[in-house]
Amino acid sequence: MTAAAQESTRRLRAGVIGLGWAGQQHVAAYAADPTVDLVAISAMEEHLLAEFGDRYQVEGRYPDWKQMLSEAEIDVVSIATPTFLHAPMAIAALEAGLHVITEKPMAENAEAAGRMVEAANTAGRVLDVSFNHRQRGDVRALKEVVDSGVLGKLYYAKTGWIRRQGIPGLGTWFTKSASAGGGAMMDIGIHMLDMALHLMDEPAVTAASASTHAEFGPLGRGGSGFGISAVEEGVPFEVEDLATAFLRLEGGGTLLLESSWAQWIAHDLCYVTLYGADGGATIEWGGPEEPRITVWTEVAGIPAELHPAAGEDGRHAAAVANFLQKVRSDDWAAHNGALALRRAEVIDACYASAKAGAEVTIGG
């Protein structure tokens, strides 16, 4: 029996590194899965180890993640730590023979993300990245609309996540270039990039023209309320609080992407709008109306506006379940993190374009 076949027939033993909000979602997801034993957690914060260890009856509690990897008998591990730690932790876990899922973004840049993919290929293990927002019920419903062919050929899309006030952890690793890799685009824009390309059936991005701005953070304004809400003395705000990008897609299509942590707008808003030869569609949430899907098309030659029903949101639990399904599949090589690496390459190109003030070609 192959290793993959063995994984598909037995209970998996799971561990989680990092017990911030995202890590807590992974812990809950494993604990709720009847086919998984959550046996190890790791965090620097002793009170979190005690709280979540007690809540979910986890025996293995490790202040040192390296000790957890070497001592805990686990098959899969979630990494929910600051971005700059994703690559070293994931590579160490893969080299130890574990299957890995990290929080987004994959890494602080495409070079580090590429090393993660190489490690997955060498180890012959699954490497996944949690893009939990694609597990929303409305996103899944819109994907069914697109796949049905109702919209026809998609040639243009707009997407964005813009906040009225929401810079996370001013003065912490979130707003330092080396540890975060970027600002609003790296943190929340990548969610919208992932959703749009997923809905459009993964066209390759061939070029990026982008611009970045930092108008709130350097003044200590726009904080979200978590972490530090003012710039620490001697610690500059090194990333952007707003970014926009024009992306060229293989086949001639285009995608507009915007993301902001702080901006003078009426309210927070997330949206994806698709334009096809036979119809258009949009989803948005964050405004005064309930989230919904709207489709514009023709039925028997008559203009029609449709509102498909959306199922329940899956979020992190669905992302973890999808990862476990990949681990239990018979083709680990197909799940080596390559798609998330492509996302990282696009984000890198956007930052390079903003710095150069010119369009940057991707690939080729």
Express each pLDDT in 184-204 by its tens digit: 999 999 999 999 999 999 999
Same domain, yes or no: 35 and 112: yes
Same domain, yes or no: 142 and 29: no
pLDDT at 234: 58
Looking at the chain, the whole-number percentage of residues with pLDDT higher than 70 is 94
pLDDT at 232: 54
CA torsion through residues 34, 40, 42, 47, sign: positive
Same domain, yes or no: 141 and 232: yes
pLDDT at 224: 75
pLDDT at 223: 86
Let me know if residue 362 belongs to a domain.
no
116: pLDDT strictly greater than 80: yes
pLDDT at 8: 60
What pLDDT, in 10s, does the model give residues 117-156? Answer: 999 999 999 999 999 999 999 999 999 999 999 999 999 9
- Mean pLDDT of the residues in the chain: 93
What pLDDT, in 10s, does the model give residues 89-108? Answer: 999 999 999 999 999 999 99
Same domain, yes or no: 85 and 210: no
pLDDT at 291: 78
Q: Which comes out higher in pLDDT, residue 229 or 110?
A: 110
pLDDT at 287: 78
Region at 150 (left for phi over 0; alpha for psi -120 to 50; beta for the rest): alpha
Same domain, yes or no: 124 and 161: no
Same domain, yes or no: 41 and 184: no
| d(C-alpha 106, C-alpha 86), whole Å | 7
Let me know if residue 186 belongs to a domain.
yes
pLDDT at 303: 95
Asked if residues 100 and 127 have their Cβ atoms less than 8 Å apart, the reply is yes
| d(C-alpha 167, C-alpha 155), whole Å | 33
CATH assignment at residue 208: 3.30.360.10
| d(C-alpha 262, C-alpha 216), whole Å | 7
Let me know if residue 360 belongs to a domain.
no
The letter for the amino acid at 110 is: A
DSSP string of 13-52?
EEEEE--SHHHHHHHHHHHH-TTEEEEEEE-S-HHHHHHH
Same domain, yes or no: 78 and 152: no
| d(C-alpha 300, C-alpha 235), whole Å | 62
Same domain, yes or no: 148 and 195: yes
Q: What is the pTM of this model?
A: 0.93
Lowest-pLDDT range, 14-28, 45-59, 139-153, 304-318? 304-318
Let me know if residue 154 belongs to a domain.
yes
What pLDDT, in 10s, does the model give residues 204-238? Answer: 999 999 999 999 999 888 887 644 444 555 568 99
Question: In 10 A of CB 211, how many CB atoms?
Answer: 14
Let me know if residue 349 belongs to a domain.
no
Structural domain containing residue 201: 137-312
Same domain, yes or no: 115 and 205: no
Same domain, yes or no: 172 and 308: yes
pLDDT at 227: 42
1: pLDDT strictly greater than 90: no
Same domain, yes or no: 23 and 157: no
CATH assignment at residue 103: 3.40.50.720
What pLDDT, in 10s, does the model give residues 80-90? Answer: 999 999 999 99
In terms of DSSP bridges, do strands 360-361 and 254-260 run parallel, antiparallel, or are they unpaired? unpaired
Instruction: Give me the number of domains the chain comprises.
Output: 2
Task: Find how far residue 184's CA is from the centre of its chain.
Answer: 13
Q: Which comes out higher in pLDDT, residue 275 or 8?
A: 275
What's the farthest any 2 CA atoms get from each other in the chain? 66
Phi/psi for 255 (5° steps) reads -140, 130
pLDDT at 152: 97
Same domain, yes or no: 28 and 91: yes
